Chain A
Amino acid sequence: LHDPFAPSPGGDSAYSSGASDQDDDEDESAAEDIDEQEIYDLISSISDPEHPLSLGELAVINLPHIHVTHGTPTPSNPHPMSHVLVEITPTINHCSLATVIGLGVRVRLEQALPTRFRIDVKIREGTHQSTDQVNKQLNDKERVAAACENETLMGVLSNMLATCK
């Protein structure tokens, strides 16, 4: 099943170049306040499981749909949480791979962000026919943990994330 709205295959060159360079800012130095742009840089270079393009190029990941908040430390709670919400826009509203894409985004963020971050990955309202179902699954810690023990799925994910390094 191919996405009719996918950019024409002329984009082969964009495929090989687009993903590799954008992502050098993984150094810890800027660890102070991770902002939306940084989150975008972390996940926009993930490859789409079906297309030879990145999630940023396909506009599945969009900067305005990333929200980051930081808690302020208090005497009683010196370890406030930070929170990131990423809303993804599937290329078509019945995209069967929405869950896999969402899982890729979550796994990428879990690996890259400090543990104080709580991560919510959601399908942007109105862009998918089973938004609620996919959202519930993506944010169920136990299901995500179990999925990460599934070798086939992890194979797909590692291909998607290979373009991030």
Chain B
Amino acid sequence: YTDLITRYNLNSKLGTFLSRPNPSDGDLTLSKKNDKAISTIEGGHKRSIRSLAWKPNTKNESVIATASFDSTTGIWHREEHERAPGNKENSAVLDSEGKEEEEEWRFAVVLDGHDSEVKSVAWSAGGSFLATCSRDKSVWIWEEMEGDNYETIAVLQDHSQDVKMVVWHPEDELLASASYDDTIRLYKEDVDDWVCCAVLTGHTSTVWSISFENAGSASRLASASDDQTARVWKRKSRIAAMKPVVQQPSIIKQAEDETEDWEEECCLPKVHSRTIYSIDWSKNTGLIATAGGDGLIIVYQEIKIDNLQPQFGSSSPEWKIVAQIPAAHGVHEINSVAWCPKWDNEGLKTKEEVLLSAGDDGVVNVFEFETDSS
């Protein structure tokens, strides 16, 4: 890997990052290239913006949802014009003096409801649902109605402490949340109600970050915690999951398809020596990246073993470390890592990816990672 490429355009559908906690304002800067912001979202929030999410599948506009410590979630719109693919400056218009003219982000909707700091926000794969979570221990699901209206369709209060992060399954309408109560919970719709369908226990401290694999319905979930471990969880196969049901006392509600059985598959190699704040499972390459308070970025790759004979016990998958970036933000802590498509000189998305990181230094770094696909 090398440091910092400049051909990268952040106006792609980027994951979440942490805006630096800043008591004086709730501004947010979207940056492109090194040290250069393409636009700044100002106003709207009264306190720090904790995280954001780009809405998928939008047409002729970009939509961002922002989660703020002011206990609201904001929805922002910006019109996007058709651009020639060869136009490198495809996110800014040059005015007559050759200066980049910022396009306006419009603060369209304020979602009110949480009692305290909103920590994370996530759009479902199709973009029709929005999930938010808060220090008030709840997870809310919102559905977009016509004309910038959002309706609360679920308030899930299963966690016993702050909820740190929410993410949607890449395909299914399955939501996951990570909490200060050391657990991860999964939710899905059961007839008309959203219910908690699984609890993943194993971490011994706050779960800060979770990320789904991109493998259809078989997608696993990766998690990162204050206990300095990162783990991979998988859905138990139907047959395995049925077994314990037989022994369950009848008072325990075992509705048709309402529960899911998840188990820890493995722990990623332990390297971090401080809290791991962020984990991202590449939807493209299958690599996992973690980063945290120790300033380290670690990239893991699964060791694919051929000729596995699954009938002989559980051959737990193994992961190896393929990259370590110490002091990726100098002496600062790293709050977020996210994989993103790399854009070429023509302004076209390539199949390669770059890794973005955001640190306490207020900087977003871009790392290019070279791997032989053998």
Contact = CB atoms under 8 A, between A and B. Distances in A.
B293 interface: yes
Nearest to B327: A79
Contacts of A50: none
Interface in B316-365: 326-327, 330-333, 360
Contact of B69 (A76, A78, A115, A149): A149
Contact of A141 (B47, B275, B332): B275
Contact of A149 (B48, B180, B226): B48
B164 interface: yes
B169 interface: no
Contacts of A134: none
Interface string A98-122: 0000000000000000111010000
A146 B330 contact: no
A140 interface: yes
A80 B332 CA distance: 10
B90 interface: no
A4 B277 CA distance: 42
B331 A142 contact: no
A81 interface: yes
Nearest to A76: B326
A145 B119 CA distance: 12
B327 A142 contact: no
B117 A81 contact: no
Contacts of A118: 274, 293-294, 333
Contact of A116 (B23, B206, B226, B331): B331
A140 to B, nearest CB: 7
B192 to A, nearest CB: 34
A79 B295 contact: yes
Contacts of A114: 331
Contacts of B275: 141
Given A81-B295, A149-B23, A140 B180 contact: yes
B326 A142 contact: no
Given A81-B294, A143-B162, A149-B69, A115 B206 contact: no
Interface string A63-106: 00000000000001111010000000000000000000000000
A114 B360 CA distance: 13
Contacts of A78: 327
B202 interface: no
A23 to B, nearest CB: 25
A115 B295 contact: no
Given A79-B327, A81-B295, A115-B331, A148 B23 contact: yes
A155 to B, nearest CB: 13
A81 B326 CA distance: 11
B205 interface: yes
A79 B69 CA distance: 31
A92 B149 CA distance: 52
B114 interface: no
Contacts of B327: 77-79
A143 B117 CA distance: 9
Contact of A148 (B21, B117, B180): B21
Contacts of A76: 326
A140 B275 CA distance: 9
A76 B117 CA distance: 38
B23 A81 contact: no
A136 B225 CA distance: 13
A76 B330 CA distance: 12
A53 to B, nearest CB: 29
A106 to B, nearest CB: 14
B137 interface: no
B159 interface: no
Contacts of A146: 48, 69, 117, 135
B185 to A, nearest CB: 19
Contacts of A136: 180, 205-206
B272 interface: no
Contacts of B48: 145-146, 149
A111 to B, nearest CB: 13
B50 interface: yes
11 contacts: A78-B327, A79-B295, A79-B327, A115-B360, A118-B333, A136-B206, A140-B180, A140-B226, A145-B21, A145-B69, A149-B69
Interface of A: 76-79, 81, 114-116, 118, 136, 139-143, 145-146, 148-149
Given A81-B295, A118-B294, A139-B226, 19 more contacts: A77-B327, A79-B330, A115-B360, A118-B333, A136-B206, A140-B180, A140-B206, A140-B226, A141-B275, A141-B293, A141-B333, A142-B50, A142-B162, A142-B164, A145-B48, A146-B48, A146-B117, A148-B21, A149-B69
| A-B pairs, 8 with minimum CB distance | A145-B21, A116-B331, A77-B326, A79-B327, A79-B331, A149-B23, A115-B331, A79-B330
